[in-house]
Amino acid sequence: MRIAMASAERRAKIVSAWSFDVFDTFLLRACTTPDGVFERTYELSGISGTCPNVSESFVQHRIQAEARARKTAKEKRGASEVRIDEIYSYFPFKLFGLTRGDLNDLVESEFSAELELCRANPDMLRQYLDMKRAGHRVGFISDTYWDSDRLARLLRACRPGLAWDFLYASCDHGSSKSEALFAKYLAHEGIDAGASFHVGDNDKADINGAKRHGIRARYYPQATARLASTFQRETALFELICTGAPSRLDRGARTLRRMVAARSAERSPAFHLGLTVLGPVMTAFDAFVARRCEAVAGPGRQVALGFLGRDGFLSYRIWQDLHGMSSAYVEINRRVSLIASADTMQPLVDLLSKVFKIDAPTFRDMMKIMPPKVAAFFAGCPGGVAAGEDLAEALPGLMDPAEIVALAAGLRARLLAYLRLAIPDFEDCTDLVLADLGYSGSVQKALRRVFDMEGIKIRLHGAYLMSLDDAFDDLADEDSAEGFVSDLVVTPHVKRMLIRNVALLEQACCAADGSVRDYAGGAVLREINPRPAEQMARAAEIQAGAQAFAQSAGDVALDHGLDPHAASDVAARWCAATLARLLLLPDDDELALLGTLKHDVNLGTHALAPMLDERFVRDQITARGLSAACTSAAPPMWLAGSFASLSPSYGYLYVLFGANRLPADVFEERPCGPVQVGLFRAGADATLETATLHRTGLGELRLRIPLSRTMAVIMIALPLAKFAPEGLLHGVTVQRGDDVRDAAESQDVIGLAAESLVYAGVQRTGAQYRAESDDGCLLIPVAPMTQEIAIYSIAISPLGSSPK
């Protein structure tokens, strides 16, 4: 260690000068990208008042003005460096109701935006001051349109009293760091290049430019390539789902994420996901929960906070880390709360109607009784397993309502005994805030009924990460519910798309324990936890990363002068975009990390549902079309991820559909001609039938062939050579039903195995094929039909020219 320190000291002594890049190195901006300065200029200049809702046009015209100014300077002076007034001389003043006399006002507004958004980077400042104290010459070299006087004002505004030995602005010297600015610096300062050091964030200008002149360079990137890609996707999602809001002014939330990531040691991919994505979301939600508690508090009120298990587990852990032991982790789920609140059959009917499948043992475990009629009902179901909707419909005739009332009373008593132990000072509590990932507030409503039945006057207030806000109109007058990502932040269309894919978030946030099924003596009795140990370990690592962000974000924000949660509406929009990017536009690494997770539904079954099923999506598109595939019911639980697994473009099309931006007349199929299809029956009897060929907005061909059981078809011959002699076969699927409509609308789509298809006169390599003769065809075997109708669908992307 001493040898290493001595070596470092010797290296430091031979450096005679340290130069720092200014923007995005020594100074950081509290906006998503540097052009956030232009968006703030639009606001500060007053143009936002005279020309509202055109910030994007202003920003783009500001960028274009700079490009034109640099091009003209290059043509006239041989160098592209320009000053800020030259840039605005190319700005379209009349478009925004201005005159050329307003040029200086625009310049001043942009400089004011810089003063407001820029902060000294504590990491760079420490290094700068260390080098200065060590006796080295220190200063700044910047590619900028701000002259050295304004640059000096900006630096001292961010760090009062800052001193330097030199300061070079490219516009003062007519040359950039990539050109001759480093050479001028070395010559003017009399510095030996071999004994100098430069720090910057631009690989071309700062690193290669310095090295070309013999200066040693330190690369200081704003974000890793992967994190930068994540930010780009988030911006795209923000502009799509938060329309009309400033897309670059986030009060420093992204800068905070970059700095926390830069200060954190590299660990596993799961930890990185928690640190850079889930942590920022849940930390913003934590600030929202704190505001909700403050809003509820008042004279004479005793407020308690409970995080609902299991999905509220990560939020609870983060609250403990940031606020201490001032909350409770309360294990109540929809099933327990609905049963406990039942004074009629209806709550139980509502619960079971949402269950996919259920068997007799599970019903007995839920209800603690098994009436004979219910047992007989299950006995009459195939395999003893019933659809939840069927059981819900039959239940009023299978059980005596008095049995439900007695059952509910017992569970209610056990639930309240648990709450009195779990929530400190429960008896003195006047208001209980329930924090959860959220949605429709079913637990809150059920708990309200429980309290009313028992004469408990505690007011209930929901604090939800996401909310289905139209479900809250029936809350009791003194109760309340609010979603952080509400329908005022994103549209109901977008919200429902997020919640359709929220199972991924639930698995990342929930506790490792099984879901609650009952209570005994104030203790929780839980279901078995069917999730594999590897999955729970991965979730724990994601949660560790999220907690690491939450624990360090406060100090980093203070160091950088950032307050990203001060404006709740801004924080909510960026929280929505960050969460939407993960759920809706995952990258390949995230698909690999999260795609193998399983979701335990915990309603009527202990089975695990898959998160991803790429083949399912492909078959749905083949059989039902893109829009219908986008509305597929679970499973798979992570539909957006399944689309993204198919291809990034399909993933984005799914997002467009969910945001109501996917016009059917562009992407849906249109008829493009008839095809004669051969239908073979037993005994080699064959007929030709005409089917309609369709073309989709993506250029794929679709063919649907309906068959009835009475037709007794055993083979379909598809004449590929006649309409698509060369192409990619995406698949052949079959749907079944009692009539054509039922079959066409069925989500139960079966993809035929590729090895069951026969290529006659067709050369095939994987999915790609080419007809070798005019008779080349695809032979599709028809399975014995158990229902009246079967629809066979074929999807092809044609290659090459179509036959004339």
> What average pLDDT does range 206-221 have in this prediction?
94
Percentage of residues in the chain having pLDDT higher than 70: 97
Average confidence score pLDDT of the chain: 93
Name the pairing type of β-strands 777-781 and 713-718.
antiparallel
What distances in angstroms separate CA 519 from CA 179, 283, 370, 441, one per listed residue?
74, 31, 20, 22
Residues 687-699 as b or e (16 or more Cβ within 10 Å = b): eeeebebbebbee
Confidence of residue 605 (pLDDT cuts 50, 70, 90): low
Task: Please write the tens of the pLDDT for every residue from 343-373.
Answer: 888 878 887 887 777 888 888 877 778 888 8
What distances in angstroms separate CA 717 from CA 563, 675, 739, 777, one per listed residue?
66, 11, 23, 6
The pTM of the full predicted model, rounded to 2 decimals, is 0.92
- Find out whether the peptide bond into 635 is cis, omega within 30 degrees of 0: yes
Confidence of residue 8 (pLDDT cuts 50, 70, 90): very low
Upper half-sphere CA count for residue 64 (Cβ side, 13 Å): 8
Question: E strand or H helix at 481, and its extent?
Answer: strand 480-485
CA distance 390 to 396: 11
Residue 721's φ and ψ, nearest 5 degrees, are: -60, -25
Identify the three-state secondary structure at position 757.
coil
HEC string of 265-283 equals CCCCHHHHHHHHHHHHHHH
Burial class (CB in 10 A: 0-12, 13-18, 19+), 195: middle
Tell me what pLDDT residue 6 has.
47
* Encoded tokens for 60: 């783009």
The least confident of 46-55, 378-387, 761-770 is 378-387
CA distance 263 to 122: 12
Task: Please write the tens of the pLDDT for every residue from 703-746.
Answer: 999 999 999 999 999 999 999 999 999 999 999 999 999 999 99
Tell me what pLDDT residue 148 has.
97
Q: Which are the contacts of 515, defined by CB distance < 8 A and separation ≥ 6?
A: 310, 333, 335, 526, 527, 600, 602
CA distance 21 to 203: 12
> What average pLDDT does range 660-686 have in this prediction?
88
The least confident of 44-48, 122-126, 685-689, 703-707 is 685-689
> What average pLDDT does range 573-589 have in this prediction?
97
Task: Please write the tens of the pLDDT for every residue from 774-793.
Answer: 999 999 999 999 999 999 99
Tell me what pLDDT residue 602 has.
55
Task: Please write the tens of the pLDDT for every residue from 409-423.
Answer: 999 999 999 999 999
- Largest Cα–Cα distance in the chain? 99
Tell me what pLDDT residue 802 has.
55
Task: Please write the tens of the pLDDT for every residue from 161-211.
Answer: 999 999 999 999 999 999 999 999 999 999 999 989 999 999 999 999 999
Tell me what pLDDT residue 682 has.
83
More confident residue, 407 or 577: 577
Tell me what pLDDT residue 370 has.
87
Percentage of residues in the chain having pLDDT higher than 90: 82
Tell me what pLDDT residue 801 has.
64
Contact 200, 207 (CB under 8 A): yes
Contact 304, 429 (CB under 8 A): yes
The answer, yes or no, to whether residue 63 has pLDDT greater than 50, is yes
The answer, yes or no, to whether residue 389 has pLDDT greater than 90, is no
